[in-house]
Structure 1
């Protein structure tokens, strides 16, 4: 029995694989699986400067001298990869992802939460300082009514023992949240600022996502400047 099994294995192993072409398509008498070189293990980084340092150092022999592509996938993700290899694959050498704060857009926050979010996650601008002033002065015990016409809001606030003053709140404000790599300028975009009785504050993005295109443009310009003179690099966005 063992002899028959051995002979059968040897017969299968020695079988000749034939190929035939029919109507322009090549067929074989056996199932063949292509064997490609193993792809490299990628390095994970969190800054654009780290990516630039890796490219300039030429630390990996596999990447040195070959055509390299820097792909800007999004405002917070950039990767360094090779040109097409056999079988249509690429080596990814570096996967670079920005470390960014979590920002609660479209969420109602109380005065303290809103204040902390603005101070920790936004670049200083005139409108940021204005919102900090509003959030710090509008107190739940001092607000009488909130009038809303769908565009602007008016808050009636107690300003003294017997006096009440109407305060018009800013609606569309221009802010610069941290939404991309810190090496580049943070895109400025418009937000709708809303206040609800309670008192809670909310920021709603109002630029249709155009900031993403500006962020990608800023990253591309930064990398082009820093990698100027390196001929085997293509930057795509």
Structure 2
């Protein structure tokens, strides 16, 4: 009997390496810069609203986040934000684009183990240059049979990628920390979705776990091998 799953797709940010913690640290810095105008909770809500509005314009990633911070600063100060603050926000964005890549526990061993029995893909979204930089610095690049950096993750995107690289979504498993982006659209495409929770997950990526036979949750990437064994 052929394997049910022949191809494993891995998300990158906060699945293989840390990412959201750099956004959180920058938001704390942002709150300090705007402390004279609003409280941190209100500022966070305004920034999240700006990010949601701007996704269609800027996409996912640090550059869009930086522009959304500047837009929010202009809004909460009534246009009185100083050039110094704008300059500091731009500097914070540049620092985020230069942060070191810190792999999550079991990341390398999970990919190495999966590629012994399955085709493995990296499927991530965000800024092309930043994601290419992080992949290069991660040292994981040579482990993947294919790398896809997309503007959005949808069932149509997964169907196309798993068909082009492998045996179609029905025989694919997508592994990631986002229910909204990594799990739900992969299941909608006919594949399997494995949720790996992360302590820090962007609010935009939150969703409810599905009650579906092709949904699985593992505590961390150390549990991936056992899951693949169960899936045949």
TM over 0.5: no
TM-score by length of 1: 0.24
Whichever structure has more helix as a proportion of its residues is 2
The structure with the largest strand share of the pair is 1
The higher radius of gyration belongs to: 1
